[in-house]
Amino acid sequence: MTDHLFSPVSPVLAHAPLLSAGAVEVDVNFTLVLIQFAVIATLVFVLKPMLFDPLLGLFEEREKRVEGARAEARKMDDEAAEILLKYEAEIQKVHKIASDERDKIRAEAQRVEAKELSEARAESATLLEVGRKKLAEERVALETQLRATEKDLARDIAGRVLGRELS
């Protein structure tokens, strides 16, 4: 068995003398070709309405549904973008209103603070003036009292310094 594997002519080429010479012989059987053509044509005519047309219709329906879903998704995306823009505009309005309200409250607080500060200054100025008047009155009263007792105090101090009583 191993002898023919290493022989210069292989067993396949030994049985096919035409192939080794380079010539190809083709035998066409027209009857067989016509029968095969008839079978294929019959299959096409039978399978087209039963298989191919429904299958193509199914593919077309699927494509329509996919495109419809895409269009619906685009529409929903556009609506969402529009809603988002409205939302952002409303947020900006609310921020502006809040900012204006905060500014009004701040201005009112500053006005009230200034008014209260002014009242407190006026009250403290009044208290200061009353205090000054009272001090001035007390000083005058003390000076009057001192002048009245001045001679007696001077005599008393001189008597102590001299060591005797002065009349």
Return the pLDDT at 167: 67
Average of per-residue pLDDT across 41-68: 92
Is there a contact between 51 and 57 (Cβ–Cβ < 8 Å)? no
44 assigned to some structural domain = yes
Binned at pLDDT 50, 70 and 90, residue 8 comes out as: low
Nearest to 166 by CA among 145, 149, 151, 148: 151
Tens of pLDDT along 93-111? 999 999 999 999 999 999 9
Q: Which residue has the tokens 């005797």?
A: 164
Tens of pLDDT along 126-158? 999 999 999 999 999 999 988 888 888 888 888
103 assigned to some structural domain = yes
167 assigned to some structural domain = no
48 assigned to some structural domain = yes
28 assigned to some structural domain = yes
Percent of the chain with pLDDT over 70: 86
- Average pLDDT in the chain: 87
Residue 46 above 70 pLDDT?
Answer: yes
Give every CB contact of residue 159 below 8 A, 6+ residues apart in sequence.
165, 166
Give the total number of structural domains in the chain.
1
Q: Which domain holds residue 51?
A: 11-162
72 assigned to some structural domain = yes
Give CA–CA dist 80/57, Å, rounded. Answer: 34
Residue type, 22: G
Residue 38 above 80 pLDDT?
Answer: yes
Tokens representing 145 are: 């009292």
3 assigned to some structural domain = no
Chain centroid to CA 73:
23
Give CA–CA dist 56/142, Å, rounded. Answer: 125
17 assigned to some structural domain = yes
